[in-house]
Structure 1
Amino acid sequence: MMSRRSLLSLTALSALAAACSPLGALNGVNRLTPGDGGVKRIVTGAAFGSDARQRLDVWAPENAAANLPVIVFFYGGSWNSGDREGYGFAARALAARGFVVVVPDYRLVPQVRWPAFVQDGAAAIKWVAANIAGHGGDPARIGVMGHSAGAHIALLLSLDRRWGVADDIKAAVGLAGPYDFRPFEPGGAAEAALGSAPDLADTQPIHFARPDAPPLLLLHGDEDTTVKPRNSVVLAKAITDLGGRATTTLYPGIGHIGILLALSKPFRGKAPVLTDASNFLLAQLAA
């Protein structure tokens, strides 16, 4: 029988999944969600820059062999909220599937604006390429994954070579990401974060579609009203029309937060996000 505490936790998570809540509210999910066993956090707060926000954690399977494939996971939060501590549930879920998982923080609005958070993402990947072998990961097998604004960062780093890490990224998974979303809503989060860019096209991952991009898996819920599913559809088409490799999966009945919560144990039955993402990355990052 489910305990009262577990029932209350599940009720709270269900309310969160159904709500149009800011992603910052997900910071409590770790306390409410039963974690995946057999994994551990092996690095806490490693610095990849001088700012207090430029820190990362590393998660890995317990007693794992060396040279595992690596996922760098970028959380969302409208470029203005979030912290790595709130996403241990996602890191544990992925590490339990056989990856070394890196979760970096990055600087946020209003401390910074475009392109600082993308620069931080690039710096984190450079840290991974230089250091992950010492933590059981294979620097030749780095994939990226992100949700919402984190997917935006992950896909820009994968597609736009100007950030200096595209060649290190061998595959990318986006969860409910904004990839083609101009014009910005006046006064909205995107305008605040990205509106200062000299050329707004530079803020759009679709602008950098190329045939030699790393393989992409773009996952979206068909009931996402925060970031419309067309973002995933049009980016995948732009890549495939050029001869590249990109696949889109739309999950029925899933919204913007629900696709992320599907990585957690209580909600994996809602959509096979964890299985689809991990199987794709395991295949693309095979030794």
Structure 2
Amino acid sequence: MRTLSRLLTLLFMLIALAGCSAGKLLDITTSSGGALVTRNIAYGADKRQTLDVYVPKNVRAAPVAIFFYGGTWQNGDKATYAFVASALAAKGIVTIVPDYRLYPAVRYPAFVQDGAAVVRWSRDHARTYGGDPDKIFVIGHSAGAYIAAMLALDRQWLNREKLNPQRALKGFVGISGPYDFLPFDDKTVADIFSPARTPEATQPVNQVRSGNPSVLLLHGQSDDVVYPSNSIALAKKLRAVGSQVDVKLYPGVGHIGIIGAMGSPLRFIAPTLNDTANFILGRPDKNGF
């Protein structure tokens, strides 16, 4: 499976070089179930502070998922991840994909603050799009999982948006996220987080306390970009304070394959979509892709 995952990653890289991005290809082949998409809604004044909303057909008071993409807090575009939003919308989940400010234009904590502003916007507008403002989930992959984790665990960010952190979020899904990555071995990452009062304050594992929302952590066992030890360490801290957390480690799955598996052609790699959707919809844990 690991070899196949690498071959598929190489295939999508070749497609991208030929003029069609891997994300675009996954978007084309991933059904949205007829979801209505509203694009480029501003949630702030900066040009990067916009979001897209994917609304399933015939929904009312549906759960809402906010998906933050990765990119080492340095790159990314919400359009690339339409396949993730389409897959979740096809499951009956109102899905929001925001852009957020990136380094070097900004440093920590600007991208976390943007995430909090998106939660504020989602609470205020959920009903307009058929969503339930009391059933908001944050999801993230890689650096996006970091943003989602900080929103779920470090209460100052939602407090600044005048939200009750213990009520604003129903749950958090972290996909291959960095939660415990000190020391900053990478010079650029060290610069990104240089404004923090202490490095320890930037780590999700150090923000765990009782009263957190429910948590699902997904990680590929073959991830050599963000090691699975990040999810294991966070789960240990959460369990120590009595929080509800489930960890799923996918054998032979790497850092890119786990999120690519949200798209229709790659769902055989890992059950990322079903595990995420079942968690949000409150369904019993199921095996299968």
Same structural fold, with TM-score higher than 0.5 when normalized by the shorter chain:
yes
- Equivalence for 1:40: 35
Match of 2:237 in 1: 238
Percent identity of equivalent pairs: 45
Q: How far does residue 143 in structure 1 lie from its aligned partner after superposition?
A: 0.5
Number of paired residues? 267
Structure 1 counterpart of 2:41, which letter? A
Q: For residue 8 of structure 2, what is the amino acid of its counterpart? A: S
SS in 2 for 1:126: helix
Question: Structure 1 residues 93, 249: closer, same or farther in 2, change over 3 A?
Answer: same
Question: Where does residue 53 of structure 2 map in the other structure?
Answer: 58
Q: Does 1:218 align with 2:217?
A: yes
Measure, in 2, the Cα distance between the counterparts of 1:237 and 1:55. 35
- What is the Cα-based RMSD across aligned positions, in Å? 2.2
1:17 CA drift (Å) = 7.7
- 1:244 Cα deviation (Å)? 1.0
SS of match in other structure, 2:282:
helix
Greater shift, 197-206 or 155-164, is seen at 197-206
1:140 counterpart = 2:139: no
Q: Distance in 1 between matches of 2:10 and 2:282?
A: 32
1:127 and 1:16 map into 2 onto residues whose CA distance is 38
Q: What residue number does 2:100 align with? A: 106
Partner of 1:183: 183
- State the shift of 1:198 in Å: 1.7
Specify the alignment match of 1:199 in structure 2: 198
Contact kept in structure 2, 1:17 and 1:261, CA below 8 Å: no
SS at match of 1:43: strand
Q: Which runs of 4+ in 1 moved over 6 A?
A: 10-13
| Structure 1 residue ranges without an equivalent (≥5) | 1-9, 22-26
Query: Is the partner of 1:50 in helix, strand or coil?
Result: coil
Is the CA contact 2:35–2:90 (under 8 Å) kept in the aligned structure 1?
Answer: no
Distance 1:18 1:264 in 2: 13
Is 85-94 or 179-188 further displaced after alignment? 179-188
Partner of 1:257: 256
The Cα of 1:30 is off from its aligned counterpart by 3.6
* Shift, 1:11, TM fit: 11
Return 129-138 or 158-167, whichever deviates more. Answer: 158-167
Aligned to 1:157: 151
**Using a 3 Å threshold, how does the CA distance of structure 1 residues 60 and 13 change in structure 2: closer, same or farther?**
farther
Residues 53 and 95 in structure 2, CA contact (< 8 A), matched pair in contact too: yes
- Identify the residue that residue 92 of structure 1 maps to in structure 2: 86
In the alignment, which residue of structure 2 is the partner of 1:31?
A: 24
Partner of 1:270: 269
- Higher mean Cα deviation, 239-248 or 116-125? 239-248
1:4 aligns with: none
SS of alignment partner, residue 102 of structure 1 = strand
Equivalent AA in structure 2 for residue 52 of structure 1:
K
Give, in angstroms, the shift of residue 195 of structure 1: 2.7
* Displacement of 1:202: 1.8
Question: Which amino acid counterpart does residue 25 of structure 2 have in structure 1?
Answer: L
TM-score, length of structure 2 as denominator length: 0.87
